[in-house]
Amino acid sequence: MKERFAKYPFYGNAHGLTMFEAAHVYQLTPPPPELYTVNEYIVAAQVWRDLRFFAYFLHHIEPRLNGRVRSFLLREGLDRYDPERFLDYKQNCVLAMLECLESYVPYQGAEFLTYAHHAIGNALIQCRMMEESGSFSSLDEYKRVRGIAWLYNESGKSRGEVVARYAEKEGCSEETAEQYLTVARLNRSRVPLYVTAQDEDSEESGEDVTMDDSWDYAAILWNGIQAEAIRAAFEKLSYREQRLLEERNAICMTCGRVSPLSHRKTFEDLAVMFEGSTASGAERAYRKAVEKLTLLLVEAGVLHAVRLKQKSVKRRKKKIAAAVYEYQADCDGEWGEIQFDFVRGTAEIVRLAEWDTMVSKVFAERAIKCIRAYDVGNLPKKLLLTF
């Protein structure tokens, strides 16, 4: 017998929040009374000590706030279409503006949004800091770690040269710079940190220090006990598989060095390295090595993974209208089933893997989020999703 659960909005998330709702959360009905300028709402909130005027202010500036949050998420390489994350970042910006409300002095000439610009930037960076695996004593420390991480990955220079350059630039001791770099390397090894840009108020911008997002398992190379599991799993691979992963991702599993992406080998280069292979053959071998290492890491408890396979699709006027996927939690045990209705924009868990309502539902929600990110005309037949 099929056990059915609540339907998930296809363009929202597992809890029903949509991007439209997240982007219009401060819109009021009916609209607030019109004033001559938006800044007058802030003045009225201060004079009358009435936060309703602050709500009116948010109603008018919400599109600008949405744009700033989206720009930040885009530069950081984060999913700017995740409603929950988007709303978290946005609400933190609103809290920052509320804190600025007390100290804002209108007659000094600057509009409130100009006055709060730096605080909003810090609020966005703080949200990013909270998503990292590492812990930081303060927002300032996190900014410094981001700065030296960018310098280390962008320059491609040795550790000593980076420390000396950073110390000279920031006017700190080399011992302090060394500590920041140690923290940066440790945290960069846990998750894909410092993905693109620093905060908007920084002099640096537009840097790209990402790793290949198709394989970031070396990201936890120096993370204590997990490092041992990573090494043990990596050593179980064949020599060819090890070389494919290292060369393609510009890393060294021996010392943990992560080189700039410009240093990584193309599939054509890999085909030359392994004579008798083609670029497509090298790519297939690389993908198999990724999957093999993934399974080893799942067994070791370092990663979780969802295995997906397409069971059936329904078409309407030659376009896919619905699809059924089976999913497996941590690549083991009984399969669950999820139905996607692309016409109505919903996804429904028909059967949980292992019939587990506590644990495997998390895997199902991950699978739903992943599939809805694909174009309907290009749905994957099989997929291995890690998290």
Q: Do 113 and 149 fall into the same domain?
A: no
Rounded to whole angstroms, the Cα distance separating 270 from 282 reads 6
Same domain, 119 and 154: no
In the chain (387 residues long), the average pLDDT of successive 10-residue segments reads: 39 63 91 88 91 94 92 78 88 94 88 93 90 75 82 76 85 85 65 36 35 36 55 83 82 67 77 76 85 84 83 85 86 84 84 70 82 81 82
* Whether residues 39 and 124 fall in one domain: yes
Strands 305-316 and 382-386: antiparallel
Same domain, 282 and 322: no
Which strand ranges, in their side-by-side order, compose the sheet holding 305-316? Answer: 7-9, 346-351, 336-341, 319-329, 305-316, 382-386
Query: At how many degrees (to 10) do helices 117-131 and 83-103 cross?
Result: 140
What is the maximum alpha-carbon separation in the chain?
Answer: 79
324 and 248 in a single domain? The answer is: no
Cα 212 → chain centroid: 14
Map residue 306 onto helix, strand or coil: strand
Do residues 53 and 44 touch, judged by C-beta distance below 8 A? yes
- Among 240, 265, 299, identify where a domain stops: 299
Instruction: For residue 278, tell me if it sits in a domain.
Output: yes
- E strand residue ranges, the chain: 7-9, 305-316, 319-329, 336-341, 346-351, 382-386
Domain count, the chain: 4
Closest C-alpha among 76, 77, 94, 74 to residue 22: 94
pLDDT at position 341, please? 87
Overall size of the chain counted in residues: 387
Task: Please classify residue 378 by burial: count the beta carbons closer than 10 Å to its beta carbon, then call 0-12 exposed, 13-18 middle and 19+ buried.
Answer: exposed
Please say which residue of 277, 299, 321 terminates a domain.
299
Q: Is residue 353 part of a domain?
A: yes
Q: Could you tell me if 235 and 296 are in contact, meaning their C-beta atoms sit under 8 angstroms apart?
A: no
Tell me if 340 sits within 8 A of 303, measured CB to CB: no
Q: Work out whether strand 346-351 and strand 382-386 pair parallel, antiparallel, or are unpaired.
A: unpaired
In a domain, 105, yes or no: yes
Angstrom distance (rounded) from CA 84 to CA 14: 10
Residues 294, 313 within the same domain:
no
Q: Is residue 193, in this structure, part of any structural domain at all?
A: no
Here the contacts of 151-158 (C-beta below 8 Å, separation 24 or greater) are: 152/181, 152/184, 152/185, 153/188, 153/194, 153/209, 153/258, 153/260, 154/207, 154/209, 154/260, 156/259, 156/260, 156/263
Which run of H or E residues covers position 182?
A: helix 174-188
Helix, strand, or coil (residue 357): coil
**Pair (352, 336) in one structural domain:** yes
Tell me, what's the pLDDT at 351?
A: 84
What is the torsion angle, in degrees rounded to the nearest 10, for the CA atoms of residue 370, residue 374, residue 380 and residue 384?
Answer: -20
- What is the C-alpha end-to-end distance of the chain, expressed in Å? 30
Q: Write down the pTM of the prediction.
A: 0.48
Residue 24: inside a domain, yes or no? Answer: no
123/142 same-domain check:
no
Domain boundary among 95, 112, 130: 130
Assigned domain for 309 exists: yes
pLDDT on residue 199: 37
145 and 114 in one domain? no
Distance CA 19, CA 23 (A): 6
Check: CB of residue 210 under 8 Å from CB of residue 196: yes
Q: What share of the chain is helix, strand, coil (3-state, %, to 5)?
A: 50, 10, 35
Closest CA to 307 of 294, 320, 293, 323: 294
318 and 267 in a single domain? The answer is: no
pLDDT at 101: 93
Cis status of the peptide bond prior to 63, with omega within 30 of 0: no
**Whole-number pLDDT of residue 319:** 85
Q: What is the CATH number of the domain that holds 227?
A: 1.10.10.10
- Is 99 contained in some domain? yes
**The dihedral sign for the CA sequence 167, 173, 178, 179:** negative
Residue range of the domain that includes 157: 135-188
Helices 52-75, 39-48: axis angle to 10 degrees equals 130
- Shared domain for 316 and 294, answered yes or no, is no
Is 209 within the bounds of a domain? no
